Amino acid sequence: MTTSNESTVTRFARVLRVDDHIIHVSTTTGVESCTPPSIDLACGDLVRIQGGAIIDWVRPNRATRPIEEQDWWRIHRVLPVLRQRTDLLHKLRQWFLEQDFLEVDTPILTAHPGLEVHLQPIQTRVCDQVRYLITSPEFHMKRLLSAGLERIYYLGKSFRDDEKGRHHHPEFTMLEWYRTDAEPSDLMSDVETIVALATGEQRQWVRISVHEALARWGTPTDDPDDIVRQLVEYVEPNLVELGAVFLTDYPASLASLARLNSDDPTTSARFEAYVDGVELANGFGELTDPVEQRERFEQDLNRRRALGLPVFPMDESFLDALGAGLPPCAGIALGIDRLIMLATNTDRIADVVCFPPDLA
Amino acid sequence: MYQTSDIRKGLKVEFDGEPFICVDFQFVKPGKGNAFTRTRFKSMVTGRVLDKTLKSGESLHKADLEDRQMSYLYSDGTSYTFMDSENYEQIELSRDVLADSSKWLAENLEVNVLLHNGRAISIELPNFVEIEVTRCEPGVKGDTATGATKPATLSTGATINVPLFVDEGDILKIDTRTCDYVSRVRK
């Protein structure tokens, strides 16, 4: 607002509180105090203000929901976070641009969702055909890498059914990026940079393998379900004190789409980034072998059938892309909402988005 | 039976035959692993806290709890006898179950008795009770504003601080949540 005179600018505001001699209003730039006009204003009324005075009563608030559930009230509280979110997304895009990355706009609707047993895709119909909302853009992104792109990122929504909690929303903003000819360690330094960009502070990152973590806080085992349970029950609570942690070398049974480590094929090139005990990102040295990929899909489908979960068609275009030759590459997905929680020191995704699932 | 998706604060369940109430919970799910619910339960009998990590889909036993309106009859010093206001059935509660509540038990006081599998595990007092003063220093007339207090012993055996104007034989209204004197009811 450098061109216009502050005192002549009129803006919309909401009445927050009415005291005897002063009225507090919410504006897009924060809370302001105004002298009350002769009319009887109530909390929530929409007014027009100019130079610290209410000049017009635009609309009385006749909404019937409790005030905490009214959009204007919630957005008033989330607004500072929305500014930080805008700022962070801008910085991230700038950083990727400087690193010579291409932003890719991969589909959200797909006929071939991820097959992992513990990710449940949301089904819909499009033009009378069954489609799914992506649980992650990874198949499409790897098809782009196989087609010749080298550094790509996706910044957008992903969807997972049955996930709702303080740190989980069924729709969430995901940042996923890939580098060809790169190792997990390259992605780890990317994560370090991005977390520093978001929070404005440099952290000392600790690297600890899943095996080391289990030996330290749990009981090493080969059973993948038991490993996950121990990660949740014993490891994650202890990661809080370590601050910024890369949990590395997941056992082969939990490799997902990561390649196995050549020096120890019982482990994989999969890692997760945790900050203050909250899981931020999941990265892979990617599996590029089409035969092994098909076997893993078949295993996933068999486990899905055994558990009575829905099964989906394998993504043959993706397997074809691996067959055509996927260069060695590493890729990672990072939860943007959780990164913003970290940057704004909040503990609920609901506090960093405009519309939490129950109000969507 | 409850499922993990039913868990919310205040949910009452049973572990090994003991009733617990949920005081905190969080849905957790590592990126590619199965989902869990981290929970914290508090025993409704002993108050001890139990942290449990439950796998999604696990089921929990509903605690069989019942609230009954009863009135206090008398005590023999170790047990306290109550009568169901509807069917006149009498039950005895031990001092352990009553804990600190026993000091507000004036004759005929209506309380809520919480039963688990038919066994009384706690009582809920009304927020306010009216009890007679049995012993205190003589009242100071007209002194209603200084805020000074003196101890007074009540007919139930409890001792509380009361304003100086209170006399023996006064009936006092007391807040059982804060153990504070509220007002004098009548003489």
The CATH number of the domain covering residues in A6-62: 2.40.50.140
pLDDT at B144: 59
Residues 6 or more apart whose CB falls under 8 angstroms from that of A321 comprise A142, A143, A146, A147
Q: At what angle do helices A336-344 and A184-199 cross, to 10 degrees?
A: 40
pLDDT at B95: 82
* Reported confidence tier of residue A19, pLDDT bands at 50, 70, 90: confident
Nearest to B30 among A164, A165, A232 (CB): A232
For tokens 């600190």, the residue is B100
| Whether residue B107 sits in one domain with residue B89 | yes
Inter-chain CB pairs, A–B, below 8 Å: 53
Nearest-neighbour CA in chain A from B31: distance (Å) = 7
Largest CA distance in chain B: 75
Which residue spans of chain A are classified as CATH 2.40.50.140?
A: 6-62
CATH class of A72-359: alpha beta
- Picking from B44, B62, B80, the residue at the C-terminal end of a domain is B62
| Whether residue B19 sits in one domain with residue B48 | yes
Cβ count within 10 A of residue A169: 22
How many C-alpha atoms does A84 have within 13 Å on its Cβ side?
22
**Residue from A5, A45, A50 nearest A32 by CA:** A50
pLDDT at B149: 84
- By residue range, what is the domain housing residue B152? 128-186
Residues A136-161 have pLDDT tens digits of 999 999 999 999 999 999 999 999 99
The reply to whether residue A232 touches residue B38, judged by beta carbons under 8 angstroms, is: yes
> From CA A312, how far away is CA A335, in angstroms rounded?
25
- Interface probe, candidates A116, A117, A118, A174, chain B, greatest B C-beta count within 10 A: A118
Least confident among A27-41, A70-84, A285-299, A312-326: A27-41
| Whether residue B93 sits in one domain with residue B54 | no
Average pLDDT of the segment spanning B168-184: 90
> From CA B5, how far away is CA B8, in angstroms rounded?
8
> From CA A230, how far away is CA A225, in angstroms rounded?
9
Higher pLDDT, A7 or A32: A32
What's the mean pLDDT when you consider all of chain A? 93
| Whether residue B53 sits in one domain with residue B6 | yes
Nearest to B30 among A164, A166, A279 (CB): A279
Q: Which residues from chain A sit within 8 angstroms of residue B28, using beta carbons?
A: 165, 167, 232, 236
The reply to whether residue B31 touches residue A163, judged by beta carbons under 8 angstroms, is: no
What's the mean pLDDT when you consider all of chain B? 88
Q: Which residues from chain A sit within 8 angstroms of residue B55, using beta carbons?
A: 229
Q: Is the pLDDT of residue A38 over 80?
A: no
Question: In this structure, what CATH number is given to the domain that contains residue B114?
Answer: 2.40.50.140
Q: Across chain A, where does the E strand assignment appear?
A: 10-18, 23-27, 30-34, 46-50, 53-59, 102-103, 109-110, 122-126, 129-133, 151-159, 171-180, 205-209, 244-248, 270-275, 278-285, 329-335
Question: In this structure, what CATH number is given to the domain that contains residue B43?
Answer: 2.30.30.30
- Picking from B103, B124, B145, the residue at the C-terminal end of a domain is B124
Nearest to A231 among B30, B35, B55 (CB): B30
The reply to whether residue A118 touches residue B27, judged by beta carbons under 8 angstroms, is: no
What is the H or E stretch that residue A254 is in?
none
> From CA B160, how far away is CA B150, in angstroms rounded?
8
| Whether residue B56 sits in one domain with residue B72 | no
Q: How many domains are contained in chain B? A: 3
Average pLDDT of the segment spanning A291-299: 96
The reply to whether residue A254 touches residue B35, judged by beta carbons under 8 angstroms, is: no
Q: Is the pLDDT of residue A1 over 50?
A: no
> From CA A64, how far away is CA A67, in angstroms rounded?
8
How many C-alpha atoms does B180 have within 13 Å on its Cβ side?
3
A16-20 long-range CB contacts below 8 Å, 24 or more apart?
A16/A43, A16/A76, A17/A43, A18/A42, A18/A43
Sign of the CA dihedral A183, A185, A191, A192? negative
Would you tell me which residues 230-269 of chain A have a C-beta closer than 8 angstroms to some C-beta of chain B?
A: 231-233, 236, 254, 256
pTM assigned to the model: 0.80
Nearest to B55 among A229, A256, A279 (CB): A229
> Phi and psi for B73 in degrees, rounded to 5?
-100, -65
pLDDT at B187: 56
Q: Which residues from chain B sit within 8 angstroms of residue A331, using beta carbons?
A: none
Would you tell me which residues 68-127 of chain A have a C-beta closer than 8 angstroms to some C-beta of chain B?
A: 116-119
pLDDT-above-70 percentage for chain A: 98
Which residue spans of chain A are classified as CATH 3.30.930.10?
A: 72-359
